[in-house]
């Protein structure tokens, strides 16, 4: 009777112990189940697990996918684990993989230990156990526990360890997946930043263009290429293109990208200076050189020393001065008007013209030797009608620029206006487009531009018969054309309703052209 009571008591005690074991396994598994990084894993190993298993070191190792090598995934006594690869068949890892039960090592006896075990031996650990964790899809994991005193690892500890083995495998997998996920997110963020930086550049390029020159058409890309290639050299550049195509902008860009960009570029408009003053304007004069020369004057070339001089409308330079300019370009020295000594100069020359200098040479209005001197590095600018793809970009650019200045919030152009803008011939090119956009902002009644008065004369101009065109000189055509526009504008030259806007010219330039062509008020006023 007494014997059976004893047995029952033992059984009850065992049952209680098992129940406690199960409770412990459950609490360890719960703690492990939510872990997604090594820091939290370390907390559980160093706390709950160490308290219960009494180990001195805890090493989790993990094989690669093809199961030829393995690495240390986590080590309690060493936070700075390296990513060294160990051979899978090193007599430790593979032994545990192949064993259904826990493997017990005697570190002192086995001398062929891998170095992480050798190190532990040096730390005074004499025994270790290895247990292969249940296999999940992916890596194979082995857990090693090391002890200074092997007796602390009991059969009970072994049972508990086996109870948590599956959860340990899952936790290792969770940590690896979470790390991969974070790496991928970080990589995506970098890629997103790179692409948004690139997009930002594109947006900025679309908005502000190349050195303030707007337009992405192939024709303009070629221009940007030419500018970039010549800017850093000291070469003379000749920019040619119709009026309003952006020749001055190109000259600015070359100067800004040049080695002398910190010095101011000096601009001279050869068409706007009276003939008798051009020489003194360019080369300066000495006091008393001519009537009215009461002071010595430094000319534009000297002002541009160690910098750039931009000679706009070079085709308008009088023949006599063309020879003097040629000498300056060849000898790199100037002589002030009324002076008798030569002054060395170091100036880069950029010239621009809207005339065909070849034709001017053929018609003997421009010296061929000067033409060849200037034409060292020609940059042709396309007319706006030859790069229709840029019209919308430019239109939006000017819309933003002027609506802000005028203080009107305009969102954009109606589809119909965009189509008309693209179809228009724009003989005054970008300047004309800019003026038209500015004018339509002033007159806009809504926040979208729905009206733009395109000068019909320009559209019908292309219909002008070829024979008529061929029998007239360019000057005659120009004169006729300007007269037509002024008449259409009821004799107004300047202002938003004036002819200069429709012609895409500054009103001062139109006035000087009219003077040159002999257009007088009586020609257009009834």
Stretch that binds ligand ATP, among 34-42, 228-236, 238-246, 438-446 (CB under 6 A): 238-246
Q: Please name which of 55, 57, 141, 58 lies closest in space to residue 93, comparing C-alpha atoms.
A: 141
Q: Output the 3-class SS for 53-109.
A: HCCCEEEEEEECCCCCEEEEEEECCCCCCCCCCEECCCCCHHHHHHCCCCEEEECCC
Stretch that binds ligand ATP, among 1-9, 22-30, 136-144, 426-434 (CB under 6 A): 426-434
Binding mask 177-216 for ligand ATP (x = CB under 6 A): --------------------------------x---xxx-
Stretch that binds ligand ATP, among 150-158, 369-377, 430-438, 470-478 (CB under 6 A): 430-438
Instruction: Check binding of 284 to ligand ATP (CB under 6 A).
Output: no
Distance CA 211, CA 61 (A): 59
User: Minimum distance between the CB of residue 340 and ligand ATP, rounded to whole angstroms?
Assistant: 36
The single residue among 243, 307, 308, 403 that binds ligand ATP, judged by CB under 6 A, is: 243
Distance CA 243, CA 364 (A): 22
Q: Please name which of 437, 450, 449, 447 lies closest in space to residue 401, comparing C-alpha atoms.
A: 437
Distance CA 457, CA 131 (A): 94
* Alpha-carbon dihedral sign for residues 287, 290, 293, 298: negative
Instruction: Check binding of 386 to ligand ATP (CB under 6 A).
Output: no
Q: Please name which of 249, 246, 197 lies closest in space to residue 381, comparing C-alpha atoms.
A: 246
Distance CA 350, CA 258 (A): 12
User: Minimum distance between the CB of residue 262 and ligand ATP, rounded to whole angstroms?
Assistant: 22
Q: Which is nearer to ligand ATP, 32 or 352 (CB)?
A: 352
User: Minimum distance between the CB of residue 199 and ligand ATP, rounded to whole angstroms?
Assistant: 21
**How far, in Å, are 187, 223, 250 from residue 230 at the CA level?**
40, 11, 11
The single residue among 247, 324, 367, 387 that binds ligand ATP, judged by CB under 6 A, is: 247
User: Minimum distance between the CB of residue 228 and ligand ATP, rounded to whole angstroms?
Assistant: 16
Instruction: Check binding of 387 to ligand ATP (CB under 6 A).
Output: no
Number of residues in contact with ligand ATP, rule: CB under 6 A? 19
The single residue among 285, 402, 431, 513 that binds ligand ATP, judged by CB under 6 A, is: 431
User: Minimum distance between the CB of residue 266 and ligand ATP, rounded to whole angstroms?
Assistant: 16
**How far, in Å, are 401, 421, 436 from residue 384 at the CA level?**
19, 11, 14
Instruction: Check binding of 430 to ligand ATP (CB under 6 A).
Output: yes
The single residue among 21, 248, 400, 478 that binds ligand ATP, judged by CB under 6 A, is: 248
User: Minimum distance between the CB of residue 315 and ligand ATP, rounded to whole angstroms?
Assistant: 10
Q: Which is nearer to ligand ATP, 215 or 284 (CB)?
A: 215
User: Minimum distance between the CB of residue 179 and ligand ATP, rounded to whole angstroms?
Assistant: 50
Binding mask 297-316 for ligand ATP (x = CB under 6 A): ---------------x----
Q: Which is nearer to ligand ATP, 57 or 360 (CB)?
A: 360
User: Minimum distance between the CB of residue 406 and ligand ATP, rounded to whole angstroms?
Assistant: 16
Among positions 331-370, residues that touch ligand ATP (CB under 6 A) are 352, 354
DSSP per residue over 214-244, as a string? ---SHHHHHHHHHHHHHHTS---EEEE-STT
User: Minimum distance between the CB of residue 374 and ligand ATP, rounded to whole angstroms?
Assistant: 16
Instruction: Check binding of 249 to ligand ATP (CB under 6 A).
Output: yes
Distance CA 281, CA 293 (A): 12
432 in Cβ contact with 383 (< 8 Å) = no
The single residue among 56, 302, 434, 438 that binds ligand ATP, judged by CB under 6 A, is: 434
Q: Which is nearer to ligand ATP, 214 or 265 (CB)?
A: 214
User: Minimum distance between the CB of residue 275 and ligand ATP, rounded to whole angstroms?
Assistant: 19
Strands 342-344 and 333-335: antiparallel
What residue is closest to ligand ATP based on CB? 246
202 in Cβ contact with 393 (< 8 Å) = no
Neighbours of 16 (CB within 10 A): 10
**Virtual torsion, Cα 189, 192, 194, 195, nearest 10 deg:** 170
Q: Which is nearer to ligand ATP, 212 or 323 (CB)?
A: 212
State how far Cα 109 lies from the chain centre.
65
Listed in order, strand segments (DSSP E) in 313-385 are 333-335, 342-344, 347-353, 377-380
Q: Output the 3-class SS for 157-182.
A: HHHHHHHHHHHHHHHHHHHHHHHHHH
Instruction: Check binding of 246 to ligand ATP (CB under 6 A).
Output: yes
Q: Which is nearer to ligand ATP, 148 or 401 (CB)?
A: 401
Q: Which residues bind ligand ATP (CB under 6 A)?
A: 209, 213-215, 241, 243-249, 312, 352, 354, 394, 430-431, 434
């Amino acid at each position: 009777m007494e014997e059976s009571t004893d047995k029952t008591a033992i059984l009850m005690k065992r049952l209680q112990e098992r129940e406690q074991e199960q409770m412990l396994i459950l609490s360890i598994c719960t703690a492990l189940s939510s872990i997604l990084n090594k820091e939290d894993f370390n907390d559980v190993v160093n706390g709950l697990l160490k308290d219960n298993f009494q180990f001195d070191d805890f090493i989790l190792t993990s094989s690669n996918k093809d199961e030829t090598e393995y690495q240390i995934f986590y080590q309690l006594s060493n936070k700075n684990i390296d990513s060294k690869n160990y051979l899978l068949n090193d007599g430790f890892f593979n032994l545990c993989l192949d064993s259904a039960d826990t493997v017990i090592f005697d570190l002192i006896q086995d001398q062929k230990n891998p170095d992480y075990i050798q190190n532990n031996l040096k730390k005074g650990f004499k025994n270790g156990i290895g247990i292969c964790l249940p296999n999940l899809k992916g890596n194979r994991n082995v857990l090693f526990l090391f002890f200074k005193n092997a007796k602390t690892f009991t059969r009970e500890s072994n049972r508990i360890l086996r109870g948590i083995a599956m959860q340990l495998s899952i936790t290792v997998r969770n940590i690896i997946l979470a790390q991969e996920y974070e790496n991928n997110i970080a990589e995506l963020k970098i890629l997103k930043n790179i692409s948004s930086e690139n997009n930002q550049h594109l947006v900025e390029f679309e908005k502000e263009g190349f050195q303030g020159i707007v337009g992405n058409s192939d024709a303009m890309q070629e221009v940007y290429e030419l500018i970039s290639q010549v800017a850093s050299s000291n070469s003379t550049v000749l920019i040619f293109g119709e009026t309003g195509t952006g020749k001055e902008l190109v000259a600015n860009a070359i100067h800004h990208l040049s080695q002398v960009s910190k010095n101011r570029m000096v601009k001279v408009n050869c068409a706007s200076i009276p003939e008798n003053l051009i020489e003194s304007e360019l080369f300066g004069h000495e006091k008393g050189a001519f009537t009215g020369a009461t002071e010595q004057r430094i000319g534009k070339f000297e002002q541009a020393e160690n910098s750039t001089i931009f000679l706009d409308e070079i085709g308008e330079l009088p023949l006599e001065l063309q020879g003097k300019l040629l000498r300056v370009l060849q000898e790199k020295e100037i002589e002030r008007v009324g002076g008798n000594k030569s002054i060395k100069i170091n100036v880069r020359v950029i010239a621009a013209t809207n005339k065909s200098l070849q034709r001017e040479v053929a018609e003997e209005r421009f010296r061929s030797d000067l033409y060849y001197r200037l034409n060292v590095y020609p940059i042709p600018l396309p007319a706006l009608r030859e790069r229709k793809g840029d019209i919308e970009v430019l239109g939006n650019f000017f819309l933003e620029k002027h609506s802000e200045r005028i203080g009107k919030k305009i969102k954009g152009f109606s589809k119909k206006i965009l189509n008309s803008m693209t179809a228009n011939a724009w003989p005054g090119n970008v300047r004309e487009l800019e003026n038209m956009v500015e004018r339509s902002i002033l007159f806009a009644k809504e926040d979208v531009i729905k009206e733009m008065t395109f000068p019909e004369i320009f559209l019908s101009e292309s219909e002008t018969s070829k024979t008529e065109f061929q029998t007239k000189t360019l000057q005659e055509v120009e004169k006729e054309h300007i007269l037509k526009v002024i008449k259409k504008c009821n004799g107004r030259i300047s202002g938003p309703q004036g002819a200069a806007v429709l012609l895409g010219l500054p009103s001062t330039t139109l006035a000087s052209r009219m003077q040159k062509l002999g257009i007088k008020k009586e020609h257009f006023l009834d």
